[in-house]
Chains A and B, each alone.
Chain A
């Protein structure tokens, strides 16, 4: 049996479903960045490692463009979460 879009999680960090992503696309949002801004998909601890390509696939299907032509988001540092204490000590130690 096929899962409902409202039960398919695209962004696991922020609990964003496929239904929400499709709703953004139907409202005219065209890029992963825009969908990130309105839904928070990709803003959680993993920084979009899973949802980025899943959203790209949805955009590719909806706008009929090849996956490689979907505009990627900027990959922002740090690549893994780092505690403020660790960073502060690094500053303190020069």
Chain B
């Protein structure tokens, strides 16, 4: 770690590492990534790592569609010798109410306008895609074969390794303790290993982003929310797609390795930095999943854990310049789907910082939209 950098990135997850890589690719290589523990130790390493393009708004569908294109060649793109584990088994999204089924047809139109190859599946066609699924109570489903899942560890290490080879420094087991702002500009990042001068600081700390931004006086409406996951022993392959429902709030997928990974959205989860797992989740999740997929009843759970979603009020990313500290930028509030859109957001932010053109307008994601009352709306979130 030098005493001074052009750009300091805080957070060594998929967002921080992909931003570092994209900046370096645009010849901004005087960059330091600071990570509190090891790379992926926060939300990235705890996430379900699903990659879904079936969104209900043009912005989210575009972010996910263009990110998927990057995931499809991530090893070659970053020069990674490992395997990023991309498995495009598709996403099957179940409609349990008439209203949901109507919404899904609107979503398909949005997806088709972006170029996403998704389609509606009638109830009697669902078992052709997932043979063991209990179709009771279903109105139908939508399917996109190019949706899938990747390995969050290897994807992050791919970006990090590529960035390092271009000259980026990564400092793990380093904690940011504060900032020095002088004459309205960010000047210094304070860490437990000493001070670092910086022209630009990028806050990629997920559930901790609001706390970090508040240290320079930027009040952001991002809050942490615990989400839990469990995984089973590996078994022979019986299910390719991710199965997901908004009505019953769960997602479940069999990984290429054979283990089945699943999680639920708990509507009563309070705002907190709690990342402990609970037995209540274990029982509730098992119940919901085995109602829809009874075939999994004999499958044994080997591990459960929890991580933080970094929620924003409208479930859209926030990319915000702090007014109080010029040069301090937050990119967070990814609301539980940060992994799948990080590659495209990293491009957007790097293009912005290197004054290159981008087909998306970065100002859309400014936190000012909340004070103007111009919230972005997404109908399809678990």
Contact = CB atoms under 8 A, between A and B. Distances in A.
A43 B259 CA distance: 10
Interface residues of A, number: 25
B45 A43 contact: no
Contact of A81 (B38, B41, B233, B291): B233
B277 A87 contact: no
Nearest to A84: B286
Contact of A87 (B233, B287, B305): B287
Given A33-B38, A45-B302, A81-B302, A90 B290 contact: no
B277 A76 contact: yes
Contacts of B279: 77
A19 interface: no
Contact of A84 (B39, B40, B290, B305): B290
A91 B286 contact: yes
Interface stretch (B17-25, B139-147, B190-198, B293-301): B293-301
Contact of B297 (A34, A47, A84): A84
Interface residues on B, range: 35 or more
Interface in A56-94: 74, 76-78, 81-85, 87-88, 90-92
Contacts of A85: 286, 290, 297-298
Interface string B37-63: 011110001000000000000000000
B304 A78 contact: yes
Nearest to B40: A37
Contacts of B39: 34
Nearest to A87: B286
A78 B305 CA distance: 10
Interface string B163-186: 000000000110000000000000
Interface of B: 38-41, 45, 82, 153-154, 157, 172-173, 231-234, 257, 277, 279, 282-284, 286-287, 289-291, 296-305
5 nearest A-B residue pairs (beta carbon) = A85-B297, A87-B286, A81-B300, A91-B287, A91-B283
30 contacts: A30-B172, A34-B38, A38-B82, A38-B153, A38-B154, A43-B302, A43-B303, A44-B302, A76-B277, A76-B303, A77-B303, A77-B304, A81-B300, A81-B302, A82-B301, A83-B299, A84-B286, A84-B290, A84-B297, A85-B286, A85-B290, A87-B287, A87-B301, A88-B289, A88-B290, A90-B283, A91-B283, A91-B284, A91-B287, A92-B287
